[in-house]
């Protein structure tokens, strides 16, 4: 075991052969022996994990454990999807509660002002800015289908005939657990406006 702790904002590790990203935790960069015990000690829930399932053909992976955790993750996503409120503000509150994220933490992850997020949560904002909603999906590290649901509840849809929207789709599908800075850099490098701007 290495003694040096990692303290980067998002840490990529391995869990039964599944890359998992933990937000805001200091963990040892180790081979995950006894991971269930460590996972519990981190006081982390399934909402903090993003699965990127690899092939079950890897003989070094305990497929039974991998399948168990994949099932638990999917069941939690089903529960969240079934219970998500039908208004944007309430859905945003619900997803922030699921992710255990405060207004201030989400503001830091999105570069949106805390006041902007509070208005979205607490007032009936008729149609939040699409870029802000995509930034919130990135900040919350939402699975793609929940990102699309939140965008829909905000009164938008991603039209794949629009180049900006194609890039938003790319970000939501491929940049899960990346920072807002990384996502903005993708847009800027393609001569598109960033999702948000640092104040």
User: Angle 114-122/103-110 helices, nearest 10 degrees?
Assistant: 120
State the pLDDT at residue 48: 55
Domains of the chain: 5-80 (no CATH), 86-189 (1.10.260.40)
Chain centre to alpha carbon of residue 172: 9
Percent of the chain with pLDDT over 70: 67
Instruction: Give the residue, 79 or 29, on which the prediction is more confident.
Output: 79
Residue 11's beta-bridge partner residues? 22
State the pLDDT at residue 57: 47
- What mean pLDDT do residues 123-142 have? 90
pTM exceeding 0.85 = no
User: Angle 130-140/180-189 helices, nearest 10 degrees?
Assistant: 140
pLDDT for residue 145 is more than 50 = yes
Sequence-distant (6+) residues with CB within 8 A of 21 are 10, 11, 12, 13, 49, 50, 141, 176, 177
Percent of the chain with pLDDT over 90: 55
Instruction: Return d(Cα 176, Cα 187) in angstroms, integer.
Output: 15
pLDDT tens digits along 39-87: 444 444 555 555 444 444 455 556 676 777 778 888 888 999 999 999 9
149 and 90 in contact (C-beta within 8 Å)? no
Instruction: Give the residue, 98 or 58, on which the prediction is more confident.
Output: 98
State the pLDDT at residue 130: 97
CA angle 103, 107, 112 (to 5 degrees): 125
State the pLDDT at residue 24: 40
């Amino acid at each position: 075991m290495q003694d040096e702790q990692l303290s980067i904002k998002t840490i990529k590790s391995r869990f039964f052969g599944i890359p998992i990203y933990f937000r805001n935790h200091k963990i040892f960069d180790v081979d995950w022996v006894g991971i269930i015990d460590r996972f519990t000690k981190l006081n982390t829930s399934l909402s903090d994990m993003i699965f990127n399932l690899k092939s079950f053909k890897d003989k070094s992976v305990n497929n039974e454990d991998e399948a168990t955790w994949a099932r638990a993750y999917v069941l939690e996503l089903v529960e969240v999807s079934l219970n998500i409120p039908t208004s944007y503000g309430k859905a945003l509150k619900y997803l922030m509660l699921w992710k255990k994220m405060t207004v201030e933490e989400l503001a830091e992850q999105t570069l949106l002002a805390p006041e902007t997020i509070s208005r979205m949560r607490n007032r009936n904002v008729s149609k939040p800015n699409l870029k802000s909603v995509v930034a919130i999906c990135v900040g919350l590290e939402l699975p793609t289908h929940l990102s699309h649901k939140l965008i829909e509840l905000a009164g938008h849809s991603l039209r794949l005939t629009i180049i900006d929207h194609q890039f938003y789709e790319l970000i939501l599908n491929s940049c899960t657990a990346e920072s807002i800075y990384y996502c903005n850099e993708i847009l800027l490098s393609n001569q598109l406006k960033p999702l948000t701007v640092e104040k």
